[in-house]
Chain A
């Protein structure tokens, strides 16, 4: 016990003997820790944003389809149950946030342009509950009922089609017999999404109007269900599977959109890699500092050994020294990171590079997200790896032959 105390005091004093070197090392560690935490928070923010956006881009947390629908999203592959039956079943099971949609590829045309889109026939009340894109109306009004004859399109799409609120556009798709099904709709509202690509991809119309146009009675092609947390959808998945039976395919969002799913998984691995890479750079500085400290004090160490300190005491002293360095450095780094993330809570506007960001589905405002587990991971990794890095110089110091060490010039 006494050895530990003495070693600790010696380590602390040694640390401040060459305070310039210590301060430089502390600066290096704290900047490293700051970089680990800050950059991780940025990446987290970006990925979470993408995932949440991706979920808003219609998958919901769990989705039900006809088993053939995902390979061939045509109007022939519908869910076995009618929308009325679905609504009844889910409401009575206590699930509140779900939306039964008709979702088919379609062509939208104005006088001057026509484009391929995904047509969604929705019940606006159900759709509101799942908070998907299309609910952020920026001009005009949203759909009022499932029987609505209007259509809501993206702001960007309206621009591309050279159309505007109050004008008619034509929607063309195919009915289950592969015949052209088309009709005119009046644009009643424009929605806004984080990504221009989504504003161009989706159009929303009343479910009944679309069912009538396609001649599919009251059937739908997709049922999206929202739970509480997108990170753990298993309980919800089980409930929905039970409600739907075996006729239809029930999948969680990370399987529906495997890009998003793997994105999230890759992110967790990436954080660790990022921390280790920064640490590797740091560790050279750390080991170098310790080696220098040992090298400078060869005679001193020899003297201590000659006076009867055990090699383990020397080892302890050096390890303490590095641990103190690491702990103080990390503490400063953590404070720095948190201090720099807090003012950025409101988001960082990176619209200058928005186009590039959109290409991989990220929006133009970056919200850094501090996740406790990331902070802990960074600190623990640095402490543990730092400890191992300092073992080598410490081991060397403890193995000096006292006589040789004392007489060394």
Chain B
């Protein structure tokens, strides 16, 4: 009798949870995390630090995003890099460098190359959406972190997906903040990891304040992105995401 009662309460509790949207499928969790990170639109300031065993440098950047497909990043400091920008519209990517005063479309051949000398590739920057369309997601388990549930999700790319990884494992906190993103090769060895080092409350949401990308095969080399400020759902003129704005900043 008692056992029955327990089972029933557990069941009720579980259904109550799912009513709150906690018991989502793996795909939904990933989508929510992506939307949470991006918002409908966002405007942020961040600092990127590229660390190597013998040197380190930092760049300050401003960034704007709108919807799933458009974003613009512009370097504000140091002075010598100021004005360098990257515009992403749909699957296309352009860069602008004031020194050569040219907008260059990033060709497919350069998508795997590093973005502004960091440990992120151009592809990492431009194609975060692919994780929804080109993967199958499965919930592996749940853990606790600072009192919040963390979902461990395994994402396996489709057979013909333009993804080199064998699988990826995402750790997403229940408030939709990405905790860790691991990339594995097809032999199951981890190649690189994007890890959130610090969480914070910014722009009215919980966000990953410091994220670090590290390659397993090159210890001591990493790239860190620190979010200095962010605003979500801001009004952005669509002219922000144009080539002319990439070249001549007006906002």
A interface list, Cβ under 8 A from B: 105-107, 109-112, 114, 116, 149, 163, 167-174, 178-186
Bound CA span A111–B166, Å: 8
In this assembly, does B185 line the interface, its C-beta being within 8 Å of a C-beta of chain A? Answer: yes
Bound CA span A114–B164, Å: 10
Do residues A184 and B111 form an inter-chain contact, with CB atoms below 8 A? no
The proximity string for B residues 75-94 relative to A, scoring 1 for CB distances below 8 Å and 0 otherwise, is 00000000000000001100
A-B contact pairs, 14 of them (CB 8 A): A107-B112, A111-B166, A116-B109, A163-B186, A168-B163, A168-B164, A169-B164, A172-B112, A172-B162, A174-B107, A183-B161, A184-B159, A184-B161, A186-B159
Total A-B pairs, Cβ < 8 A = 67
Do residues B108 and A109 form an inter-chain contact, with CB atoms below 8 A? no
| Interfacial chain A residues near B39, Cβ < 8 Å | none
Bound CA span A319–B233, Å: 105
If A168-B186, A180-B108 are given as contacts, then 19 extra A-B residue pairs at C-beta distance below 8 Å, sorted by A number, are: A107-B108, A111-B164, A111-B183, A111-B186, A112-B185, A112-B217, A169-B164, A170-B162, A170-B163, A172-B109, A172-B112, A173-B108, A178-B105, A180-B111, A183-B161, A184-B158, A184-B159, A184-B163, A186-B159
The proximity string for B residues 141-183 relative to A, scoring 1 for CB distances below 8 Å and 0 otherwise, is 0000000000000000111111111100000000000000001
Do residues A111 and B109 form an inter-chain contact, with CB atoms below 8 A? no
* Contact A172 to B108, CB < 8 A, known contacts A184-B157, A184-B159: yes
In the complex, which residues 183-239 of chain B have their Cβ closer than 8 Å to any Cβ of chain A? 183, 185-186, 191, 217
Bound CA span A178–B90, Å: 13
In the complex, which residues 46-74 of chain B have their Cβ closer than 8 Å to any Cβ of chain A? none
Chain B interfacial residues counted at CB < 8 A: 23
* Contact A110 to B162, CB < 8 A, known contacts A172-B108, A179-B92, A184-B157: no
| Interfacial chain A residues near B165, Cβ < 8 Å | 111
Bound CA span A171–B109, Å: 10
Nearest-neighbour CB distance to chain A for B124, whole angstroms, equals 13
Bound CA span A107–B217, Å: 23
Nearest-neighbour CB distance to chain B for A85, whole angstroms, equals 28
Do residues A149 and B111 form an inter-chain contact, with CB atoms below 8 A? no
| Interfacial chain B residues near A168, Cβ < 8 Å | 157, 159, 163-164, 166, 186
Closest 8 CB pairs of A and B: A182-B162, A111-B185, A172-B108, A114-B112, A180-B108, A167-B186, A107-B109, A170-B162
Nearest-neighbour CB distance to chain A for B218, whole angstroms, equals 11
Bound CA span A143–B164, Å: 21
Nearest-neighbour CB distance to chain B for A151, whole angstroms, equals 11
Do residues B164 and A170 form an inter-chain contact, with CB atoms below 8 A? yes
| Interfacial chain B residues near A105, Cβ < 8 Å | 109
Nearest-neighbour CB distance to chain A for B247, whole angstroms, equals 19
Residue in contact with A184 in the complex, picked from B160, B185, B217, CB distance below 8 Å: B160
| Interfacial chain B residues near A170, Cβ < 8 Å | 162-164
Do residues B161 and A107 form an inter-chain contact, with CB atoms below 8 A? no
Bound CA span A170–B164, Å: 6
